[in-house]
Structures are given as structure tokens and as C-alpha cells.
């Protein structure tokens, strides 16, 4: 009977220990988050957040996204599109920088509820957004 209790205790202890997250794994995850955030964020030299949000909406529509929600006051836009039968969701936020001389834009893309970590996706979006902002600044519609 004692050996059975000891065996059960050892098995429970092993299961509990196996579920613990190591400190190293959390540190590596934080580095990935910082790298992902740097891919997702760009600063644009304009002080008008509303113009940036309007151009974000136009850019997402140009990239075949359907706008789900947009709030110019908050500076948020959520959009979805289908890619190979799966849902791609992009949420973009625009906020004034601390100096108020530029607007910081962060795009967060998900494919099947997993973050997209491919830098090309974000580069393409920000390139299109930059062109759109240039055209709107120069009054080209």
C-alpha cells in the first residue's frame, strides 16, 4: 500500500513539474515579441491621425480586406479577408507620438488566430500605406 502511495505521489509530482514554464522560455518569448512589435510598427511624418486612419482604411481595402470596424477617434481599424479558405484578420492602430509631430501606426495580422510573423506581410502593408499617405498629402486622389 505504501509503495502504491509513493508511486502515485511521484507520478503527480512528475506531472506537475512537467507543466511548469521555465524562466528561459519566457525570456525567449519576450525577445520574439519585441522583434514582432518592431516589424509591426512604423512612424509617419504627419500630425493628423484622422488622415492616417482614412489612409489605413483605403490601403486595407486596396489589399482586398473588408473593413469590420473603424474608429477614427480611437485610431483603430479591424479588417478581414479570406486567403486559401482561411481568415486573415488585421487590426491597425494609429496614435500620435509623444512629440505630436508624427503618427505611430501598428499593424497586427493574424492567420487562423495565430500571429503572422513574416516581415514581408508588414513591409507590403506599410509600403502601400506610405504611398497612400504620399498621394493624399499631395492631393492626388
Whole-number pLDDT of residue 24: 46
pTM of the model: 0.74
68 belongs to a structural domain:
yes
- CATH number of the domain where residue 127 is located: 3.30.310.80
Q: For helices 119-137 and 23-40, give the axis angle rounded to 10 degrees.
A: 30
Could you give the percent of the chain with pLDDT greater than 70? 78
75 belongs to a structural domain:
yes
Q: Under 8 Å CB-to-CB from 126, ≥6 apart: which residues?
A: 42, 105, 107
Q: What is the pLDDT of residues 63-110, one digit of tens each?
A: 999 999 999 999 999 999 998 888 999 999 999 999 878 999 999 999
Pull the grid cell for residue 10: 511521484
Q: Residue 1 gets which letter from DSSP?
A: -
83 belongs to a structural domain:
yes
Pull the grid cell for residue 141: 486622389
Whole-number pLDDT of residue 64: 93
What's the structural domain count of the chain? Answer: 1
Whole-number pLDDT of residue 123: 95
Residue span of the structural domain in which 98 resides: 42-141
Amino acid at each position: 500500500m505504501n509503495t502504491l502511495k509513493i508511486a502515485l505521489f511521484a507520478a503527480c509530482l512528475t506531472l506537475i513539474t512537467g507543466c511548469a514554464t521555465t524562466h528561459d522560455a519566457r525570456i525567449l518569448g519576450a525577445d520574439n515579441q519585441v522583434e514582432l512589435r518592431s516589424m509591426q510598427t512604423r512612424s509617419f511624418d504627419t500630425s493628423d491621425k484622422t488622415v492616417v486612419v482614412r489612409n489605413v482604411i483605403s490601403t486595407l481595402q486596396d489589399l482586398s480586406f473588408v473593413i469590420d470596424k473603424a474608429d477614427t477617434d480611437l485610431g483603430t481599424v479591424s479588417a478581414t479577408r479570406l486567403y486559401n479558405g482561411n481568415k486573415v484578420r488585421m487590426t491597425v492602430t494609429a496614435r500620435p507620438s509623444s512629440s505630436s509631430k508624427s503618427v505611430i501606426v501598428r499593424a497586427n495580422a493574424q492567420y487562423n488566430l495565430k500571429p503572422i510573423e513574416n516581415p514581408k506581410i508588414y513591409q507590403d502593408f506599410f509600403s502601400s500605406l506610405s504611398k497612400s499617405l504620399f498621394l493624399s498629402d499631395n492631393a492626388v486622389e
